[in-house]
């Protein structure tokens, strides 16, 4: 089971991970560049964070000349899934229905999205 430990990622770590998931590999400079301008984070902040994340096993790096090329060491599905499950279990008693009900109530959900959701669930229903 592995007791997924990925539900504690903060927002910055998440953004860095997403940058790596999207690009596959990236240097510190490249990751830094992908952050929105209004983030306004120092280069060294990103570098430090990536080093901390490597110590935690979230990313890894290879060396190219003098620069570190980072890549994600965990799959996006693991992290998103882990965090989603955590919320699901902790707050909704594991009930997907309760979670979805909440989201549909709180948010504007387009007719299109509802249709896709319906389709998605119909498919699951058959294939089980």
Partner DNA sequence: GACAGAATACTACCACGGTAGTACTACTGC
Partner DNA sequence: GCAGTAGTACTACCGTGGTAGTATTCTGTC
Distance in angstroms (rounded) separating the CA atoms of residues 119 and 125: 10
Q: Per rule CB under 8 A, is residue 88 in the interface with a second copy? A: yes
List binders of DNA among 13-32 (CB under 7 A): 13, 27-29
Residue 88 phi, psi dihedral angles, 5° rounding: -55, -50
Complex with a second copy: residue 33 or 122, whichever CB lies closer: 122
Closest to DNA by CB, 40 vs 127, is 40
3-state helix, strand, coil in the chain (%, to 5): 65, 10, 25
Pick the stretch among 43-51, 52-60, 64-72, 98-106 that binds a second copy (CB under 8 A): 98-106
Of 30-38, 53-61, 65-73, 106-114, which segment contacts a second copy by CB under 8 A? 106-114
* Inter-CA distances, 49 with 8, 36, 114, Å: 14, 17, 38
Report the residue number, 12 or 88, with the smaller CB distance to DNA: 12
């Amino acid at each position: 089971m592995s007791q997924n430990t990925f539900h504690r990622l903060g927002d910055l770590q998440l953004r860095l991970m997403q940058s790596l998931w999207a690009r596959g590999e990236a240097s510190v400079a490249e990751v830094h560049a992908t952050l929105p301008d209004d983030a306004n984070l120092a280069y060294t902040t990103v570098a430090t964070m990536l080093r901390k994340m490597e110590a935690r096993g979230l990313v890894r790096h290879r060396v190219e000349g003098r620069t570190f090329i980072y890549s994600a060491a965990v799959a996006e599905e693991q992290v998103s899934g882990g965090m989603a499950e955590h919320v699901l279990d902790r707050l909704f008693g594991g009930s997907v229905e309760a979670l979805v009900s909440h989201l549909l109530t709180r948010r504007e959900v387009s007719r299109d999205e509802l249709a896709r959701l319906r389709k998605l669930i119909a498919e699951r229903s058959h294939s089980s």
